[in-house]
């Protein structure tokens, strides 16, 4: 199981939003690359980066910061505003290892299918759910589409990785929605990266137990708990191993 420490970028700075709300922002660092360097020093090979400005604007806004992170030699998983093929190609050209398609995946299966044909496993789909329904455009809008239904359609297109976020737990430090994650894992046609709610070491222990039952649990994204010093990245990396 892979630990994906998270960096959310807004106005060039490393921040966290509570439940994705732009008015609930905490700034943790002025330079996101400095944070990524700390993650690398702790032993992490991956970093999960979200361009929050991009998610709200519909196109990437912080690629210079992303490029600085990729230059450290870490594998970067990037989401936020990647809604055109040109944006995807540009991000991959900057050294990003995997891009996350969110809003456009809910809108166009054709778009996702073409990307998978062109870039294979470098394409992941982010499914963000509120009460089981898919949320889009930086979580501003909720659709009528069920998260599991969308995931099945993405799997049929050849998508190998789904990042599943339960919005209700994101940034709340209340623990993941384990039942929702297990329901997604049970579909079994793709790998799942769990996101949202990790607040303590025991949450990751429980996810590691889940990974033993479901080999397709690829990893977990950890954000606020790291910044609030509730968990230690070296400890989580050792746990995951």
Nearest to 168 by CA among 180, 158, 157: 180
- pLDDT range class, residue 141, cuts 50, 70, 90: confident
Q: Which residue ranges form the domains of the chain, and what is each CATH number?
A: 2-240 (3.20.20.70)
Nearest to 8 by CA among 80, 89, 75: 80
DSSP helix/strand/coil, 136 = strand
Give 4-57 pLDDT, tens digit per residue. Answer: 999 999 999 999 987 777 888 999 999 999 999 999 999 999 999 999 999 899
Catalytic residue among 53, 128, 170, 218: 128
Catalytic site residue 235? no
Q: What is the model's pTM?
A: 0.95
Catalytic residue among 8, 53, 166, 203: 8
Cα–Cα distance list, 192 to 24, 60, 77, 147 (Å): 27, 24, 14, 13
How far apart CA 31 and CA 39 sit, in angstroms, is: 13
Average pLDDT across the chain, whole number: 94
Q: What angle do CA 31, 34, 39 make, to 5 degrees?
A: 135
Give 182-230 pLDDT, tens digit per residue. Answer: 999 999 889 999 999 999 999 999 999 999 999 999 999 999 999 999 9
Catalytic site residue 128? yes
Cα–Cα distance list, 233 to 5, 29, 141, 239 (Å): 8, 17, 33, 10
């Amino acid at each position: 199981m892979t630990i994906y420490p998270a960096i959310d970028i807004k106005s060039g700075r490393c921040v966290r939003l509570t439940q994705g709300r732009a008015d609930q922002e905490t700034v943790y660092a002025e330079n996101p690359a400095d944070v990524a360097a700390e993650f690398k020093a702790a032993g992490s090979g991956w970093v999960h980066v979200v361009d929050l400005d991009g998610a709200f604007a519909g196109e990437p806004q912080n690629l210079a910061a992303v490029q600085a992170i990729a230059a450290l030699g870490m594998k970067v998983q990037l989401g936020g505003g990647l809604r055109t093929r040109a944006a995807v190609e540009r991000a991959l050209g900057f050294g990003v290892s995997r891009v996350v398609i969110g809003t456009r995946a809910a809108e166009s299966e054709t778009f996702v299918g073409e990307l998978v044909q062109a870039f294979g496993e470098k394409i992941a789909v982010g499914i963000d759910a509120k009460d089981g329904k898919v949320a889009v455009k930086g979580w501003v809008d909720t659709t009528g589409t069920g998260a599991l239904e969308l995931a099945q359609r993405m799997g049929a297109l050849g998508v190998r990785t789904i990042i599943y976020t339960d919005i209700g737990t994101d940034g709340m430090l209340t623990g993941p929605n384990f039942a929702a994650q297990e329901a997604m894992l049970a579909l079994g046609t793709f790998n799942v990266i769990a996101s949202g709610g990790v607040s303590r070491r025991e949450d990751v222990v429980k996810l590691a137990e889940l990974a033993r039952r479901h080999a397709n649990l690829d990893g977990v994204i950890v954000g606020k708990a790291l910044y609030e010093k509730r968990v230690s990245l070296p400890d989580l990396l050792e746990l995951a191993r």
